Amino acid sequence: MRYELYYWPSIQGRGEFIRLALEDAGAEYVDVARGKNGAERMLAAMRRHRMFAPPFLKDGRLVIAQTANILFYLAPRLGLAPKGEAERLRLHQQQLTIADLLDEVHDTHHPIANSLYYEDQKEEAKRRTALFIEQRIPKFLGYFERTLPLRYSYVDLSLFQVVEGLRYAFPKAMKKAEQKTPRLLLLRDRIAKRPRLAAYLASPRRLPFNQQGMFRHYPELDG
Amino acid sequence: MRYELYYWPSIQGRGEFIRLALEDAGAEYVDVARGKNGAERMLAAMRRHRMFAPPFLKDGRLVIAQTANILFYLAPRLGLAPKGEAERLRLHQQQLTIADLLDEVHDTHHPIANSLYYEDQKEEAKRRTALFIEQRIPKFLGYFERTLPLRYSYVDLSLFQVVEGLRYAFPKAMKKAEQKTPRLLLLRDRIAKRPRLAAYLASPRRLPFNQQGMFRHYPELDG
């Protein structure tokens, strides 16, 4: 049975963390919303299964949402996590900390409300992002640098995506922050060379970063 | 072996969701930071185990962080969730959606940065909270109303706490929002009468809501 991933068809967003795991494992999956009438099919499935928001995953009769929850389920099946409970919980803890960082990344450009345009919260965004760059990027990346797992897992793929996203959104700030995270960068480079992942990144399946996603590049916010 | 919970000693905050589960189950646990030299002991354990932030839980040799992760681990052991994978994932999905709501609640009074005083982001807080009350409370509570689980679980305890917290922080706004969530309120009332939970809520172990926690009452923000 193929996995069915339901996520917005035009952004990397949170769905990308699941795409990376499926692609690196060479799993058979359908990115439903990117097919014909995809967005409509996704929204219909969302209503049918009473989901709060994409992404969600269908595996036979199981339908689950929340990025970290989906990865927790998939990882041992894809060979991207050990099967032991303690190790799985520890990886999940890291993935949930990544999720916390992603919420903060989103709020750099939308500090007031997701329902307003960036232009209508630009001043607040500048104030929030300055402190995000000064305090939060070093705190999160420093934490990941100190706690990099020894064994390869799906969390490594997510950390790769975090580095890529932050580089896209805040190239100036990241140039500085990266000086303190050599191990994280080595990990990023190792991940980028994994054959199936490299093939995915070079394919049209990998959407480019853009100004609708979670990671956005507004030069005026980048320090 | 007693569970050891590590969380800030003077607020309900995220730790309260774990306290409610332990108390309702009648589990033996120590709320470490509320004992002698508690805050110091918590910070020392945090460094030793390289934790990003409280809460974290120690169960013998296992030490894990992230509220929803801790509840996922504890719940089947405390009789607060079934042991089947599909049901556990479904409950975890709900708990992670509650965690998303809590992040938004926190940011109503701290839309710019956690490191700044409320007074230094009050204007932004007013703008953010107005939209939170108008758009987000109905969206989240409406979702929980439609997807209330049929079987009792730890998620019910967390939904109880969500209602209590929102009532404390936004009494005026909640009076209006509650008109559309009768099932959620019935659940809240049923939970409040559970004998062990009622005893806990009436005890000094239940910290009062206050202006340092996640749920804060600033009249100027409440609609």
The answer to whether the CB atoms of A112 and B89 lie below 8 A apart is no
Q: Which two tokens stand for residue B55?
A: 């809460």
pTM of the full structure: 0.98
Looking at residue B64, what is its pLDDT? 98
B62 close contact with A: CB closer than 8 A: yes
CA angle, A25 then A29 then A31, to 5°? 120
DSSP state of A208: P
Looking at residue B223, what is its pLDDT? 79
Q: Residue B219: inside a domain, yes or no? A: no
Looking at residue B149, what is its pLDDT? 83
pLDDT in tens, B15-71: 999 999 999 999 999 999 999 999 999 999 999 999 999 999 999 999 999 999 999
Q: Residue B200: inside a domain, yes or no? A: no
- pLDDT tier for residue A223 given thresholds of 50, 70 and 90: confident
Shortest Cα distance, chain A CAs vs residue B21, angstroms: 18
- Rounded to 10 degrees, the C-alpha dihedral B16/B20/B23/B25 comes to -140
Q: Which two tokens stand for residue A157?
A: 């793929």
Element (H, E) at A126: helix A122-131
- Write the CATH number for A147: 1.20.1050.10
Contact yes or no for A85/A76 (Cβ under 8 A): no
- pLDDT tier for residue A19 given thresholds of 50, 70 and 90: very high
B91 and B190 share a domain?
A: yes
Range A31-41 burial, b when 16+ CB lie within 10 A, else e: bbbbeeebeee
Shortest Cα distance, chain B CAs vs residue A214, angstroms: 15
A131 close contact with B: CB closer than 8 A: yes
**Domains contained in chain A, number:** 1
Do you know the residue count of chain A? 223
Over residues A174-197, the mean pLDDT reads: 98
Looking at residue A149, what is its pLDDT? 83
B43 and B119 share a domain?
A: no
B190 and B89 share a domain?
A: yes
B110 close contact with A: CB closer than 8 A: no
Over residues A65-89, the mean pLDDT reads: 97
The answer to whether the CB atoms of B50 and A147 lie below 8 A apart is yes
Q: Which two tokens stand for residue A95?
A: 């993935």
**Looking at beta carbons, which residues of chain A come within 8 Å of B73?**
85, 89
Tokens 């967005």 belong to which residue?
A39
Q: Which of B54, B77, B100 is the last residue of a domain?
A: B77
**Looking at beta carbons, which residues of chain A come within 8 Å of B102?**
none
Q: Residue A30: inside a domain, yes or no? A: no
Tell whether the model's pLDDT for residue A1 goes beyond 80: no
Looking at residue A207, what is its pLDDT? 98
DSSP string, chain B: --EEEE--TT--TTHHHHHHHHHHTT--EEEGGGSTTHHHHHHHHHHHTT-SSS-EEEETTEEEESHHHHHHHHHHHTTSS-S-HHHHHHHHHHHHHHHHHHHHHHHHH-SS-TTS-GGGGHHHHHHHHHHIIIIIHHHHHHHHHHT--SS--HHHHHHHHHHHHHHHH-HHHHHHHGGG-HHHHHHHHHHHT-HHHHHHHTSTTSPPP-TTSSS---GGG--
Tokens 């929002």 belong to which residue?
B177
Looking at residue A150, what is its pLDDT? 83
B64 close contact with A: CB closer than 8 A: yes
Q: How far apart are CA B144 and CA B131, in angstroms?
A: 19
**Looking at beta carbons, which residues of chain B come within 8 Å of A123?**
none
- Rounded to 10 degrees, the C-alpha dihedral A199/A178/A210/A124 comes to 160
The answer to whether the CB atoms of A127 and B132 lie below 8 A apart is no
Contact yes or no for A137/A180 (Cβ under 8 A): no
**Looking at beta carbons, which residues of chain A come within 8 Å of B81?**
none
Going residue by residue through chain B, which has 223 residues, state the pLDDT in tens, using 9 for 90 and above.
799 999 999 999 999 999 999 999 999 999 999 999 999 999 999 999 999 999 999 999 999 999 999 999 999 999 999 999 999 999 999 999 999 999 999 999 999 999 999 999 999 999 999 999 999 999 999 999 999 988 999 999 999 999 999 999 999 999 999 999 999 999 999 999 999 999 999 999 999 999 999 999 999 999 7
B106 and B8 share a domain?
A: no
B14 close contact with A: CB closer than 8 A: no
B68 and B125 share a domain?
A: no
Q: Residue A78: inside a domain, yes or no? A: no
Q: Which two tokens stand for residue B63?
A: 């030490």
B100 and B50 share a domain?
A: no
**With 0-12 CB in 10 A as exposed, 13-18 as middle and 19+ as buried, what is B94?**
buried
Q: Which two tokens stand for residue A213?
A: 């996603």
Contact yes or no for A68/A181 (Cβ under 8 A): no
A7 close contact with B: CB closer than 8 A: no
DSSP state of A2: -
Q: Which of B40, B57, B77 is the last residue of a domain?
A: B77
B61 and B132 share a domain?
A: no
Q: Which of B52, B77, B102 is the last residue of a domain?
A: B77
Q: Which two tokens stand for residue B104?
A: 């938004």
- Write the CATH number for B32: 3.40.30.10
List the single best residue of B66, B72, B147, B214 to mutate versus A (max A Cβ within 10 A): B66
B39 and B57 share a domain?
A: yes
B35 and B129 share a domain?
A: no
Q: How far apart are CA B163 and CA B188, in angstroms?
A: 7
Q: Residue A168: inside a domain, yes or no? A: yes
- A216 φ/ψ sector (left φ>0, alpha ψ -120 to 50, else beta): beta
Residue B95 CA, distance from chain mean position: 10
**Looking at beta carbons, which residues of chain B come within 8 Å of A64?**
89-90, 93
Residue A111 has phi, psi (to 5 degrees) of -75, -20
Q: Residue B141: inside a domain, yes or no? A: yes
Supply the range of the domain harboring residue B154.
Answer: 85-194
In this complex, the residue of A62, A66, A131 whose CB is nearest that of residue B86 is A62
B145 and B45 share a domain?
A: no
B73 and B89 share a domain?
A: no
Q: Residue A40: inside a domain, yes or no? A: no
Q: Residue A154: inside a domain, yes or no? A: yes
